[in-house]
Amino acid sequence: MAKAPKVLILNGPNLNMLGTRQPEVYGTATLDDIDAACRARAEELGLEVECRQSNGEGELVGWIQQARGAADGIIMNPGAYTHTSVAILDALLAADLPLIEVHLSNIHKREDFRHHSFVSKAAQGVICGFGARGYLMALEAMAATLVESQEA
């Protein structure tokens, strides 16, 4: 049987605080809950996943660099770095892997400074506003993308 495609799920700053962080905006699921749900859905979809979170921009850049050649796709919620980080955008462009950007909240419904995403420039697509379910939607989209690219 062919090896399961590997998807790296990256979460940026403050997402380790999910569950207690502004639950009215981000919901009550913890990051551990989200990671566990992703692992279960990934198994059903025939994907291997690795879930990581960091509050540090440099650490996230390092992990994205390492993903080139080691992973088949990236799902990322860059947190506030979405709106500020050219370094993360550049790392994602260099990684040259299918990327799906995820946000729990609908960033377009919120403050103006959240409306722009540097990261979207590297993304195949963006899922926002569906809470924790957005990560599972991203996994489904990633599975379809990876199957299509295998068939191409």
Burial 84-94 (b: 16+ CB within 10 A, else e): ebeebbebbee
Q: Does 133 bind ligand DQA (CB under 6 A)?
A: no
The question of whether 103 is a catalytic residue gets the answer: yes
Q: Does 8 bind ligand DQA (CB under 6 A)?
A: no
Q: Does 14 bind ligand DQA (CB under 6 A)?
A: yes
The question of whether 116 is a catalytic residue gets the answer: no
100 bridge partner residues: 75, 125
Residue 49 to residue 118: CA distance in whole angstroms: 25
Looking at the chain, how many residues does it have? 152
Restricting to residues 86-115, which ones interact with ligand DQA according to CB under 6 A?
Answer: 103-105, 107, 114
- Between 6 and 13, CB nearer to ligand DQA: 13
Asked if residues 51 and 35 have their Cβ atoms less than 8 Å apart, the reply is yes
We find the least distance from the C-beta atom of residue 91 to ligand DQA, in angstroms, to be: 17
We find the least distance from the C-beta atom of residue 83 to ligand DQA, in angstroms, to be: 6
SS3 10: strand
Q: Which range, of 36-44, 75-83, 87-95, 143-151, touches ligand DQA by CB under 6 A?
A: 75-83
SS3 132: coil
Q: Which amino acid is at 19?
A: G
List, by residue number, the catalytic residues: 26, 103
Q: Which residues are at the interface with ligand DQA (CB under 6 A)?
A: 14, 77, 79-80, 82, 103-105, 107, 114
